[in-house]
């Protein structure tokens, strides 16, 4: 037995249990054999499921419930004598249901009623017979576009555009609807249906469209695929869609006749008129349409409007409280950043669906994303190209934490360790082209409070700010060397420092501390020897070259323990050295 897609299975269940259609009608609508319809409904009954289906049941779960047990192979069944059946059908009051019951009495293991009717219709088709179509009240509405168009002139540019004429005809009363639109694309097709149903004040049970691309995506003789948006509109109004068979104009004879009447009553009447807007053309069509529907039949009593008002209108189903909102369906693949792209904008989906294919329904105000028949995300539609709309619940836990970081929050976290820590965090983020580039350095700064304490960290940040530093490494170096404990942390403002000084310059205090350590050392090899007489520099000791330059630079940086060398003659000593 053919295994159907879950979308088609749900359509079979909807037509059967929500709309009460017969197996034969369902088979025509879904373009499957009646036996396949029967098998699907049988599996549904065995599965223990109920209609409507539970909301939490997705396509995969439905498939497992329906196809986990394969039915036993079909037995060889006797085929009825169709010539005898046809002879009996000519008799008065004889129906196919009666003949099928008589067939089953003699053949208990014979075919079901839906197959019996379908096979008889196929047999008639092979004989080339024409069956007169008798439509029930409120059952069918035939829709199509007229072959001819109407020219509309742009009053500003003089450009001529051709307007398409949409037509809809009810099966019993022949009550006709017509309107003009710019094209036969999907939005125009759906909008015309919505206005047509408002014109009828109700919904028929079945829509019979031709196989144009807006209504049928795959015009196959046996199994056409109905456009998803068109199918959704039909579900919204509780209507079944049964496309006409390709190259079978008798399946839609009413609408073909309506096209002919529209061309005679409307297009021919407008042939000498010039239109400069679509609205003026539709206004003229409404006037002529009123005459067409009120015109008496030639061979039947009454008119289209009379039969519609007296008989068919009461048989139409009630319209929903609000008209259908057009939504276009597309397929998309979830990118590694758990977003899908639609018209240049990016919308988030749950991160677990990365690299999965999803279906997207896009209306003018809303975006809905479905996976496996279940809605997984919805967003307000945005038309900003290159931007993204992200829901926090769609993000992995690690990404949610990062998304909450802002420069203000980062500075607030740093302020809990002290005002200088907060100022240093602001300096770090301000020194980067983008504040986010400084987040990691700020986090490293905050981690130092766990090792050294908030008080020492605040002192170290104050010292780093004083010397004009704006880096995490500078603060860490100050803490590692214990320079934050120095009581003389007040230094000259950064604007007084020379341009050559930065956090990589050791400074005078580094060499003072080294001299002090050498004086206290007991290792003769590490003790600095006094200078020889007559060094000519006036310095109190002999220093290595690096220490000498460090001492000379003290005059620029300013020693914490005394005045600068320039005020004590240090410049002369340096020059002499």
Q: Could you tell me if 105 and 246 lie in one domain?
A: no
Considering only CA atoms, which of 469, 565, 551, 465 is closest in space to residue 513? 551
DSSP state of 317: B
Predicted confidence (pLDDT) per residue in 372-387, tens digit: 888 899 899 888 888 8
Mean per-residue pLDDT, 211-215 = 57
pLDDT band for position 524 (50/70/90)?
A: very low
Predicted confidence (pLDDT) per residue in 261-316, tens digit: 777 778 888 888 889 999 999 999 999 999 889 988 876 778 889 989 988 888 89
pLDDT value of residue 509: 62
Q: Could you tell me if 254 and 343 lie in one domain?
A: no
Q: Could you tell me if 246 and 357 lie in one domain?
A: no
Residue 75, in any domain of the structure: no
Q: Could you tell me if 367 and 470 lie in one domain?
A: no
| Widest CA span in the chain | 145
Query: What's the total number of domains in the chain?
Result: 6
pLDDT band for position 565 (50/70/90)?
A: very low
Q: Could you tell me if 43 and 98 lie in one domain?
A: no
pLDDT band for position 179 (50/70/90)?
A: very high
Q: Could you tell me if 180 and 37 lie in one domain?
A: no
Predicted confidence (pLDDT) per residue in 219-258, tens digit: 444 445 677 788 888 889 999 888 776 555 555 555 566 6
Residue 514, in any domain of the structure: yes
pLDDT band for position 123 (50/70/90)?
A: confident
The residue count of the chain comes to: 577
Distance CA 180, CA 186 (A): 14
Residue 181, in any domain of the structure: yes
Residue 534, in any domain of the structure: yes
- Say which residue, 182 or 2, is predicted with more confidence: 182
Question: Last residue of a domain, which of 340, 371, 401?
Answer: 401
Over the range 165-191, which residues count as b (16 or more CB within 10 Å of their CB) and which as e? bbbbbbbbbbbbbbbbbeeeebebbbb
- Say which residue, 95 or 507, is predicted with more confidence: 95
CB 179 within 8 A of CB 262: no
Residue 322, in any domain of the structure: no
**pTM of the prediction?**
0.48
Q: How many CA atoms lie within 13 A of 356 on its CB side?
A: 16
Which residue carries 């677990």 as its tokens?
352
Q: Could you tell me if 185 and 254 lie in one domain?
A: yes
Q: Could you tell me if 119 and 252 lie in one domain?
A: no
pLDDT value of residue 515: 53
Q: Could you tell me if 168 and 306 lie in one domain?
A: yes
Q: Could you tell me if 441 and 426 lie in one domain?
A: yes
Q: What are phi and psi of 468, to 5 degrees?
A: 85, 20
Residue 323, in any domain of the structure: no
Q: Could you tell me if 189 and 284 lie in one domain?
A: yes
> Which ranges in 405-507 belong to alpha helices (H)?
407-415, 419-430, 439-452, 454-466, 472-480
Predicted confidence (pLDDT) per residue in 65-119, tens digit: 887 644 444 456 788 888 788 767 756 577 888 899 888 888 888 888 988 898 8
pLDDT value of residue 552: 34
CB 371 within 8 A of CB 396: no
Structure tokens at 143: 């829709």
With a cut of 50, say whether residue 210 has pLDDT above it.
Answer: yes
With a cut of 90, say whether residue 199 has pLDDT above it.
Answer: yes
Q: What is the extent of the structural domain holding 308?
A: 140-315
CB 373 within 8 A of CB 10: yes
Q: Could you tell me if 378 and 356 lie in one domain?
A: yes
Residue 77, in any domain of the structure: no
pLDDT value of residue 85: 86
231 Cβ contact partners less than 8 Å away, ≥ 6 residues apart: 11, 241
Residue 466, in any domain of the structure: yes
């Amino acid at each position: 037995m053919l295994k159907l897609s879950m979308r088609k299975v749900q359509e079979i269940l909807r037509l059967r249990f929500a709309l009460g259609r017969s197996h034969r009608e369902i088979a025509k609508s879904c373009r499957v054999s009646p036996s396949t319809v029967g098998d699907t409904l049988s599996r549904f009954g065995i599965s223990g499921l109920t209609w409507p289906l539970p909301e939490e049941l997705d396509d995969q779960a439905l498939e497992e419930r329906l196809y986990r047990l394969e039915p036993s192979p079909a037995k060889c069944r006797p085929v009825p004598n169709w010539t005898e059946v046809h002879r009996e059908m000519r008799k008065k009051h004889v129906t196919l249901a009666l003949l099928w019951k008589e067939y089953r009495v003699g053949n208990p293991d014979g075919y079901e009623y839906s197959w019996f009717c379908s096979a008889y219709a196929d047999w008639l088709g092979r004989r080339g017979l024409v069956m007169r179509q008798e439509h029930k009240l409120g059952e069918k509405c035939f829709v199509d576009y007229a072959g001819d168009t109407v020219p509309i002139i742009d009053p500003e540019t003089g450009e001529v555009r051709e307007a398409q004429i949409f037509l809809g005809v009810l099966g019993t009363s022949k009550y006709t609807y017509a309107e003009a639109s710019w094209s036969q694309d999907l939005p125009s097709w759906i909008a015309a249906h919505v206005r047509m149903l408002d014109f009828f004040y109700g919904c028929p049970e079945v829509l019979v469209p031709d196989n144009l691309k807006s209504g049928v995506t795959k015009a196959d003789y046996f199994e056409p695929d109905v456009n998803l948006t068109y199918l959704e509109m039909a579900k919204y109004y509780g209507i079944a869609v049964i496309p006409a068979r390709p190259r079978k104009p008798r399946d839609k004879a009413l609408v073909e006749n309506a096209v002919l009447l529209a061309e005679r009553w409307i297009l021919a009447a407008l042939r000498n008129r010039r239109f400069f807007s679509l609205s003026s053309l539709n206004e003229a069509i409404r006037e002529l349409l009123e005459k067409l529907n009120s015109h008496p039949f030639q061979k039947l009593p009454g008119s289209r409007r009379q039969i519609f008002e007296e008989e068919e209108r009461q048989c139409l189903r009630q319209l929903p409280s609000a008209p259908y909102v057009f939504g276009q369906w597309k397929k998309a693949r979830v990118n590694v950043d758990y977003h899908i792209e639609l018209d240049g904008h990016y919308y988030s989906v749950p991160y677990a669906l990365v690299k999965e294919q999803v279906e997207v329904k896009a209306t003018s105000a809303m975006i809905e994303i479905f996976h496996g028949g279940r809605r997984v995300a919805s967003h307000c539609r945005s038309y900003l190209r290159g931007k993204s709309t992200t829901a926090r619940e769609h993000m992995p836990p690690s990404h949610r934490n990062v998304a909450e970081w802002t420069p203000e929050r980062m500075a607030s976290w740093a302020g809990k360790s002290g005002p200088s820590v907060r100022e240093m965090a602001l300096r770090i983020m301000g020194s980067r082209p983008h504040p986010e580039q400084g987040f990691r350095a700020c986090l490293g700064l905050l981690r130092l409070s766990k090792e050294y304490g908030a008080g020492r960290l605040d002192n170290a940040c104050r010292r780093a700010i004083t010397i004009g530093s704006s880096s995490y490494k500078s603060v860490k170096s100050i803490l590692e060397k214990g320079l934050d404990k120095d009581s003389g942390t007040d230094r000259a403002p950064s604007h007084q420092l020379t341009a050559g000084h930065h956090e990589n310059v050791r400074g005078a205090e580094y060499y003072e501390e080294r001299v002090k350590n050498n004086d206290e050392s007991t290792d003769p090899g590490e003790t600095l020897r006094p200078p020889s007489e007559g060094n000519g520099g006036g310095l109190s000791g002999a220093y290595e070259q690096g220490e000498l330059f460090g001492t000379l630079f003290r005059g620029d940086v300013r020693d914490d323990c005394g005045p600068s060398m320039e005020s004590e003659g240090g410049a002369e000593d340096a020059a002499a050295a």
